[in-house]
Amino acid sequence: MGGVLFIDEAYSLNKGGDGGFGQEAINTLLQRLTADAGKFVCVLAGYTKEMNEFLQTNSGLERRFRKIEFLDYEPAALEQIFRNLLKKSDMTLDDSAEKGIAAYFRTVYEQRNPQSFGNAGAVVNIFKQAKERQGARLAEKLQQGQATAAELRTLTLADIAGEQARANATTAELMQGFSRIVGAASAKKKMENLLNQIRLNRRRAELTHTPFQNLNICFAFIGHPDTGQKEFREAMTRVLADIGIISRDGVRNLTVPQLLQLLAQQGAERRLIDEMLAQHGKTIYIIDATPSEWQQVEEEFPVLSEFVNDRFVFDDYTPQDLASLFVDYLRSQNLRLADDAIETLVGYFGSHAEGGRSEMKLLYNEVIFRQNSRLSTSDDISDEALLTITKGDIPTD
């Protein structure tokens, strides 16, 4: 006799049913524990919940074993295990991973299932997945023989956390997705507030161990046509998908004419709201409306308008906004605006702002015509001259 008898996942002995030998093995174990008491050490191991249930199946088991519970590793310990794996593999972290790894393992810990969390084993799996993502990220460089030794040794936060890296991004980082949208200052501020609400609600759900639910499911985009709604909607969809609020195709867009057609039948307003609620967590609804159209919705469908409690207002473009849009349009055509021409361009839009984005193409055609007229009298035209729009090419009337 002597030694240690270690039985891992001991509760599996009790899952054999009447046709197995589990109960026979338990009875034999109890006999040996009594007959050979003090001659050997027996250790039963397994997950807490299953072990407690297993010991309660036989009073003899619970009486003979002293319970020692090993608590889950806390976030700092999980991070240290990961760093040990890094060191063992001669790997390192980039700046993004160094800044975000503590928050990532805090999220891993808070979102774990206490009944089945693998602790060190879970960290090993995270490390393996990180190396797989790194390999996928560097695949093209590896094929071309361009991956450096430093790159092969370095893991990014995206390698480690995958899609969750984006979910852990700060509001300021997420708002970078809206930075290229010209104007829309009020809508951007509203979006920033929305992202802060989502972040706080998600954090609260983690702390209280309750399911997270996005409370914002229906939005109204209110503004005159073509004042940034399309670009804003695309950016909003990307960001909300990145942080796991919706899928990439989880947006249903409605114009007010489409909405009025849906609501033409009696009781349709209530049915549409019920549909929105049924899609909670899967789909968000965005209603595009001019100010007058939204006023009509409020007057004719007060219940729905009250339900749509998130309203993004898109102000008309200023002359400076339109000038920025036109410069972007020129760049898309591989052209540039002369440095001294921006003031003339802003002045032009000061008297042509009502056209919004639709003015871009009209102005472009006029500018190209005026440039051609200016250059046509010269026999020696440089590439730079042909690709540069001057203030003289911009109409002033």
Write down the pLDDT at residue 48. Answer: 83
State how far the Cα of 338 lies from the Cα of 344, in Å rounded to an integer: 11
Tokens 């002359």 map to which residue? 319
Residues of the chain with CATH 3.40.50.300: 171-314
pLDDT recorded at residue 17: 58
Note the pLDDT of residue 102: 86
| Cα 382 from Cα 387, distance rounded (Å) | 9
Does the domain at 75-167 match CATH 1.10.8.60? Answer given as yes
For the packed helices 229-242 and 185-208, what is the interaxial angle rounded to 10 degrees? Answer: 20
pLDDT at 137: 87
Task: Give me the CATH code for the 319-393 domain, please.
Answer: 1.10.8.60
pLDDT of amino acid 11: 86
What pLDDT is stored for residue 19 in this prediction?
Answer: 54
Q: How far apart are CA 388 and CA 385, in angstroms?
A: 5
Coil, strand or helix at 44: strand
Cross-strand bridge partners of residue 7: 44
What pLDDT score was predicted for residue 20? Answer: 58
Distance CA 268, CA 261 (A): 10
**CATH number, span 171-314:** 3.40.50.300
Q: From first to last of its 397 residues, what are the pLDDT tens digits of the chain?
A: 678 999 998 888 877 555 557 778 888 888 888 888 888 999 999 888 888 888 888 878 888 888 888 888 998 999 999 999 999 999 999 988 888 888 888 878 877 877 778 899 999 999 999 999 999 889 888 888 888 999 999 999 888 987 666 666 778 888 988 988 999 999 999 999 999 998 888 778 777 877 777 777 899 999 998 899 999 999 998 888 777 777 778 899 999 999 999 898 888 889 999 988 887 767 889 999 999 999 999 999 999 998 987 899 999 999 999 999 999 999 989 999 999 999 999 999 988 877 677 778 889 999 999 999 999 988 889 999 999 999 999 998 7
Q: Where in the chain is the domain with CATH 1.10.8.60?
A: 75-167, 319-393
β-pairing, 251-255 with 388-389?
Answer: unpaired
Q: Nearest to residue 220, comparing CAs of 250, 190, 177?
A: 190
Instruction: Give the side-chain half-sphere CA count within 13 A for 327.
Output: 19
